[in-house]
């Protein structure tokens, strides 16, 4: 194959690939978020909820939910020609939390999805990333029909540090989710730069 002059002049760009976790409580919208932005068909490990799981899966506030993630969700999005994100959605129920350590290995940062109807469900994820010094952002998934609260009130209720970003989002909307993912990358890079400066001073 003979390349034209313009094709010969092009340099192939090897993209940087980054791993981002999507965590939060049961039924908060993690699978929806990954599916909304993934440019490949998302890998999903969803199973039907059964009567046997009813005593351990609290459906309060998500009574219409019929499936649950039992391993992880996986998707990919190209933010720029030179930047690709791999998204790993974590399972929300406590009995699957043993998988989080494996999934968080090598992660640049995380999105903690929150639902204002059940804010307490995201406390475990926030605590997990704080304890492991993994940069994270809280994305408040604005469900239809749920009460809307000022971001400052939500931040106070979650007892977030001032430097943890909090964004209102719609996990179904591609552009909204992209804004959240860009926010996570920027936050993680800023924290890495701060650590480098601390080492050199």
What pLDDT, in 10s, does the model give residues 122-161?
A: 999 999 999 999 999 999 999 887 888 999 999 999 999 9
Instruction: Please tell me the predicted confidence (pLDDT) of residue 65.
Output: 44
When pLDDT is averaged across residues 46-60 and rounded to a whole number, the result is 50
Instruction: Please tell me the predicted confidence (pLDDT) of residue 20.
Output: 97
Note the pTM of the prediction, 2 decimals: 0.79
> Does pLDDT of 76 surpass 90?
yes
DSSP the chain: -PPPHHHHT------EEEEEEEEESTTSSHHHHHHHH-SSPPB--EEE--GGGTTTS--TT-TT--EEESS-EEEEEEEETTEEEEEEEPP-SGGGGGGHHHHHTT-SEEEEEE-GGGGGGGHHHHHHHHHTT--EEEEEE--TTSPP--HHHHHHHHT--TTS-EEEE-TT-HHHHHHHHHHHHHHHHHHHHHHHHHHH-
Weakest mean pLDDT among 24-33, 86-95, 123-132: 86-95
Where do the domains of the chain lie, and which CATH numbers do they carry? 14-200 (3.40.50.300)
């Amino acid at each position: 194959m003979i390349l034209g002059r313009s094709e010969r002049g092009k340099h192939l760009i090897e993209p940087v690939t980054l791993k981002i976790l999507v965590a939060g409580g049961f039924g908060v919208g993690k699978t929806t978020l990954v599916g909304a932005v993934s440019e490949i068909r998302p890998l999903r490990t969803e199973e039907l909820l059964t009567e046997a799981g009813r005593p351990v899966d609290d459906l309060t506030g998500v009574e219409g939910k019929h499936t649950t993630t039992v391993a992880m969700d996986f998707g990919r999005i190209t933010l720029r020609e030179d930047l690709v994100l791999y998204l790993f959605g974590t399972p929300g129920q406590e009995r699957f939390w043993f998988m989080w350590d494996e999934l968080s290995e090598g992660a640049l940062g995380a999105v903690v999805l929150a639902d204002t109807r059940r804010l307490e469900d995201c406390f475990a994820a926030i605590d997990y990333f704080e304890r492991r010094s993994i940069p994270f952002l809280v994305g408040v998934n604005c469900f239809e029909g749920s009460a809307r609260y000022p971001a400052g009130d939500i931040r106070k209720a979650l007892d977030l540090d001032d430097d943890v970003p909090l964004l209102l989002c719609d996990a179904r909307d591609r552009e909204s989710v992209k804004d959240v993912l860009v926010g996570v990358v920027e936050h993680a890079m800023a924290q890495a730069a701060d650590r480098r400066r601390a080492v050199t001073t």
